[in-house]
Amino acid sequence: MAREAHVIGASTAGLYAAYRLARKGFEVHLYDAESNLNPAPRTLILTPYFQRLLDFPSDEVIINRVWRFELISASASATVTLKEPDLVVERRKLFELLLRQASEAGVDIHWGHRLEGLEEEGGSLLLRFRTDQGYKVVLSSSVIGADGAKSTVGRLLGRRALPLVAVVQAKVNFPKPIPADKVQVWFDRNRTRFFVWLIPESPTTGVVGLVADGMEEACRSLEDFLSSHSWEPSSFQSAIVPLYLPGTGMVAGKGLRSAILVGDAAGHMKNTTVGGVVSGLRGASALTISSGGVKVGSAWQALKRELWLHAWLRRLLDTFSDEDYNLLLKLLNARSLRILAAYPRDDFAKAVMPLLLSQPRWFLLGARSFLKAMASQL
Ligand SMILES: Cc1cc2nc3c(=O)[nH]c(=O)nc-3n(C[C@H](O)[C@H](O)[C@H](O)COP(=O)(O)OP(=O)(O)OC[C@H]3O[C@@H](n4cnc5c(N)ncnc54)[C@H](O)[C@@H]3O)c2cc1C
């Protein structure tokens, strides 16, 4: 039985995949192109699913807890008061925790190893890394690609390119105190087809951000939004992330010339909110072991269902005008708000039927958007 696994990409998905495989008794080698752990600062908001997923304590990464989401459109607003708070997390702290857990589990981490080649050789995959000391080759029968949105593993194995979007957020020191327990979300089609958010870190600091189809558009739109509120950015955080592409599984390539992808590399992204951390950790948790090495286990089915649902909701939301968002928020009755409060975004499939039953007019709005989405494909 093959007891060795080689994970490419030492970010959240890769570190957690490596940790889990090492805990299952594998000899795990984890490679990253960076020369050491040096993640760019990033304020993340995660659902409580995050802490349920990890099998070790993670309070140390939490910088704030939020209980309320205020949804704002041009002429309506609604507030969801959560049953369990969402967690505001600093990515560096999360990296440090995952790195410590992976190291303690025995993962061998190789910094400064950029994967550049991947070929089949004698029943295994030959990985070619560029390092400061020159090229290094490694043979492996279990390769896991956790190398982000523009995954080299996926590209070298001919996996279909994923749709990419730009996320940018500005760190702001607010001139007047803000409610530290409330996220604000603005729907404004002139700025973005997604939404604008304010995630508080404290009563005086937080991040304001948005997603757009390109980086230039995202930066322009965010700067305009900030100046409309007279908010001065102190720094920016940004990157390209993928959207989930329904129909893409976790395996890239075929037969012996294949690898498993997790995290952004696999498009493990909730397309509604463009949240990828918990989905990536779930992807890593879906890895299991068989006599042939690492395999994708049945947990992938539940994640796939969830990602598929978010991809469809995104397609419907993309057809929305500002008036549709006004209507959507006005239709949120007390029962709908209670349902939204009870089900985290990472467990949204369970909320769909109760939500539809809570407001019969959702069907009409949904059906209209579905027809518009279909028509836009013709
Ligand atoms: C500004 C911003 C805010 C965000 N906010 C949230 C949020 O609030 N909630 C949320 O859930 N998600 C959020 N996201 C998305 C989330 O950050 C990503 O989905 C997540 O970080 C993806 O993690 P990953 O481990 O899959 O990939 P990545 O973090 O992209 O890591 C990939 C790793 O692979 C390495 N690598 C790449 N190529 C190679 C190679 N050829 N060889 C070796 N190593 C390689 C890289 O160095 C890197 O370490 C946000 C994204 C941005 C940009």
What is the Å distance from ligand 1's center to 352 Cα? Answer: 29
Burial of 263 (0-12, 13-18, 19+ CB in 10 A): buried
Please state the atom number of ligand 1 nearest to the C-alpha of residue 269. Answer: 19
pTM score = 0.96
* pLDDT class of 1 with cuts at 50, 70, 90: very low
- Check residue 292 and give its pLDDT: 78
- pLDDT tens digits for range 240-296: 999 999 999 999 999 889 999 999 999 999 999 999 999 999 999 999 988 778 999
Strand partners, 89: 44, 62
**Residue 275 DSSP code:** B
Distance from the Cα of residue 314 to its chain's centroid: 14
Cα separations in angstroms, 314 against 152, 201, 230, 274, 311: 27, 27, 30, 10, 5
Dist. CA 362–CA 366, nearest whole Å: 6
4-40+91-160+248-297 is classed CATH 3.60.70.12? no
Cα separations in angstroms, 52 against 79, 197, 365: 25, 25, 34
114 lines ligand 1 (CB under 6 A): yes
Per DSSP, the three-state class of 199 is: strand
- pLDDT tens digits for range 301-313: 999 999 999 999 9
Please state the atom number of ligand 1 nearest to the C-alpha of residue 263. Answer: 26
Dist. CA 197–CA 185, nearest whole Å: 5
CA proximity to 206, closest of 228, 187, 226: 226
What is the Å distance from ligand 1's center to 228 Cα? Answer: 30
42 lines ligand 1 (CB under 6 A): yes
**Is the CB of residue 96 less than 8 Å from the CB of residue 345?**
no
Domain ranges of the chain: 4-40+91-160+248-297, 43-90+163-242, 310-375
In the structure encoding, which two tokens stand for residue 351, read together? 């909320």
What is the Å distance from ligand 1's center to 20 Cα? Answer: 19
> Any idea which fold 43-90+163-242 has?
D-Amino Acid Oxidase; Chain A, domain 2 (3.30.9)
Specify the residue with its C-alpha closest to ligand 1, atom 10.
Answer: 275
Lowest-confidence range among 70-74, 237-241, 353-357? Answer: 353-357
What is the Å distance from ligand 1's center to 168 Cα? Answer: 13
Query: Within a 13 Å sphere around the CA of 320, how many CA atoms are in the beta-carbon half?
Result: 26
Ligand 1 pocket: which of 6, 7, 11 to mutate (most atoms within 8 A of CB): 11
- Check residue 368 and give its pLDDT: 83
Element (H, E) at 359: none
